[in-house]
Amino acid sequence: MQSGSDRILAAMNRKHTADDYRRVIDRFRAARQDIAFSSDFIVGFPGETEGEFAATLALVTQIGYAGAYSFKYSPRPGTPAADMQETVSAAEMDERLVRLQELIDSQQSAFNKAMIGNTVDVLFERAARNPGQIVGRTAYLQPAHVLCLA
């Protein structure tokens, strides 16, 4: 999704609006109520106002995510945004990222708690950092760590 603001989405050259996204989510939920969502969000895109950031928070609150990745905007050479003059201060980006991540973390925690007692398939991918552990992901993209007691 990246932003809840249609103006920011257009500035990012995205071809969808926040309402387009909501309609897609509604269709998925109508088909399958137990579906979980993940997305990426960028805070501090050039010219992003506090109101536009609030639209992102509102969208995240409305959708509810099992997990999400959030980043501070960083200019990429050769992109139109790299030449935009209306930048958001580093301090403001930091503060917005903290607020967004706190919301996402609370939603992820609620999702994880709701999964307690359920049995889910896990695709194990590799050895974990700790000896005897393996790590993988569920179909909901949640990480799973298992200690092998062989």
At 100, list the tokens.
């967004």
The neighbouring-strand residues paired with 69 are 40
- In the predicted structure, residue 1 carries a pLDDT above the cut 90: yes
The tokens of 82 are what? Answer: 């790299």
Strands (E), 30-110: 38-43, 67-72
pLDDT for res 86: 87
- Read off the pLDDT of each residue in 44-64 and give the average, rounded to a whole number: 97
Which domains are assigned to the chain?
6-117 (3.30.750.200), 119-150 (no CATH)
CA distance 65 to 146: 24
**Average pLDDT of the chain?**
93
In this prediction, residue 87 has a pLDDT band, given cuts at 50, 70 and 90, of confident
Q: Where does the pLDDT of residue 17 fall: very low under 50, low under 70, confident under 90, or very high at 90 and above?
A: very high
pLDDT at 15 over 70: yes
> The whole model's pTM is what?
0.84
